[in-house]
């Protein structure tokens, strides 16, 4: 199997349906498999199973979280390249698999390719493509985002995979630092683009910014505890920054900040069992690499 496309979905039947319809038109099913994990869905997403019988389906009745779901799903994949997509994201080029293969062949030390993300709801793929420059851009970076990326199977298996000790917002950072620690590079390439069909206005109205704030605060704390040789200074800076910039200015953020602080204290003993500090040279490499920019 040449490649495996892996998607975790939770209660977004309509978005997952659209993504699968598009993928069916783009891939050669002989060479590319699609695996979907339904994470505790209660919105009749399971009805899609019979409609797309060429997809390998996995599910659980109670939600286990995006990262834990990915951890299990990626163990089932058979492709030499794992392609991660969000359930509301799809590639904008019909030859995206061959483009991925070409990049990995061109750069043997690259373990992960970060795709260009184009956010928004568009009438067509051509309209989405018209919003960005057509010139090719590639550079080494320190991270990828989950809505669109590719990782070599052998590189993924050299890491601990997506962490089971973290939930949504932060799992990509964990895989990134482990890939870099294993001696591989992460390459951003806009030769592969995905349309992340996000309605930013509606997401903000639904309170997603508050949800993200709490998750990122907790998961960043755990990230430092697991991977940094001397994490306390970074954790202090993290909390001081979030307290001053958000908690002091927004009462909802203040409540979230307080609740997360208590939750983190309770969770520290368990998280410390996964502690595996990286070499300081890896941290230095991360600081010198360019951050993702779109």
Residue 285 falls inside a structural domain = no
Q: Same structural domain for residues 14 and 34?
A: yes
264 within 8 A of 218, measured Cβ to Cβ: yes
189 plus 213 within the same structural domain: no
Report if residue 10 sits inside a domain: yes
Q: Are 267 and 216 in contact (CB under 8 A)?
A: no
Whether the CA torsion 237, 293, 92, 30 is positive or negative: it is negative
Whole-number pLDDT of residue 51: 96
Give the pLDDT score at 206.
Answer: 57
Q: What pLDDT does 89 receive?
A: 97
Which residue range forms the structural domain that includes residue 223? 206-277
In a domain, 163, yes or no: yes
pLDDT tens string, the chain, 294 residues long: the values are: 899 999 999 999 999 999 999 999 999 999 999 999 999 999 999 999 999 999 999 999 999 999 999 999 999 999 999 999 999 999 999 999 999 999 999 999 999 999 999 999 999 999 999 998 777 899 999 999 999 999 999 999 999 999 999 988 899 999 999 999 999 999 999 999 999 998 766 666 555 689 999 999 999 999 999 999 999 999 999 999 999 999 999 999 999 999 999 999 999 999 999 999 999 999 999 998 888 876
Residues 195 and 141 in one domain: yes
Do residues 146 and 48 both lie within one domain?
Answer: yes
Same domain, 184 and 218: no
Q: Does residue 286 lie within any of the structural domains?
A: no
Show which of 152, 176, 200 is a domain's final residue.
Answer: 200
- Do 20 and 121 belong to one domain? yes
Q: Two tokens at 145?
A: 């985002």
Instruction: Specify the number of domains making up the chain.
Output: 2
Give tens-digit pLDDT for 206-223: 556 899 999 999 999 999
Examine the domain organization and report whether 31 and 78 are in the same domain: yes
- Indicate if 25 and 131 belong to the same structural domain: yes
Would residue 177 count as lying in a domain?
yes
170: CATH? 3.90.550.10
Q: What is the pLDDT of residue 18?
A: 97
pLDDT computed for residue 201 by the predictor:
67
How much is the pLDDT for 147? 95
Find all residues with CB under 8 Å of 153, minimum gap 6, and list them. Answer: 77, 79, 80, 81, 82
Helix orientation angle between 232-242 and 208-227, rounded to the nearest 10 degrees: 170
Q: At what angle do helices 66-74 and 171-181 cross, to 10 degrees?
A: 50
Q: Is residue 227 part of a domain?
A: yes
119 and 178 housed in the same domain: yes
> 161 and 249 share a domain?
no
Residue 50 belongs to some domain of the structure: yes
What's the pLDDT score for residue 90? 97
Q: Name the residue among 181, 180, 151 with its Cα closest to residue 70.
A: 151
Instruction: Judge if 143 and 97 occupy the same domain.
Output: yes
* Pair 211, 193 in one domain: no
Residue 288 lies in a domain: no
């Amino acid at each position: 199997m040449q490649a495996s496309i892996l998607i975790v979905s939770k209660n977004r039947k309509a978005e997952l349906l659209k993504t699968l319809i598009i993928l069916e038109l783009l891939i050669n099913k002989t060479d590319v498999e699609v695996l979907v994990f339904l994470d505790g869905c209660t919105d009749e997403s399971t009805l899609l199973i019979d409609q797309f019988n060429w997809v390998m389906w996995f599910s659980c009745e109670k939600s286990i979280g995006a990262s834990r779901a990915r951890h299990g799903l990626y163990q089932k994949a058979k492709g030499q390249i794992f392609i991660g997509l969000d359930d509301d994201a799809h590639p904008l080029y019909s030859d995206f698999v061959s483009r991925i293969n070409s990049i990995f062949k061109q750069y043997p030390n690259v373990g992960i390719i970060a795709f260009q993300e184009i956010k928004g709801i568009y009438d067509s793929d051509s309209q989405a493509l018209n919003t960005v420059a057509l010139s090719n851009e590639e550079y080494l970076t320190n991270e990828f985002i989950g809505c669109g990326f590719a990782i070599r199977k052998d590189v993924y298996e050299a890491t601990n995979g997506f962490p089971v000790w973290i939930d949504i917002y932060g799992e990509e950072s964990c895989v990134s630092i482990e890939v870099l620690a294993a001696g591989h590079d992460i390459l951003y390439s806009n030769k592969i683009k995905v349309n992340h069909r996000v309605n930013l206005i509606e997401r903000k109205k639904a309170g997603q910014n508050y949800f993200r704030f709490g998750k990122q605060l907790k998961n960043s704390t755990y990230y430092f505890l697991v991977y940094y040789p001397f994490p306390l200074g970074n954790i202090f800076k993290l909390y001081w920054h979030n307290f001053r910039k958000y908690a002091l200015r927004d009462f909802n953020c203040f409540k979230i900040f307080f609740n997360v602080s208590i939750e983190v204290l309770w969770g520290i003993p368990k998280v410390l069992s996964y502690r595996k500090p990286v070499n300081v040279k890896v941290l230095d490499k991360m600081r010198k690499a360019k951050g993702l920019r779109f």
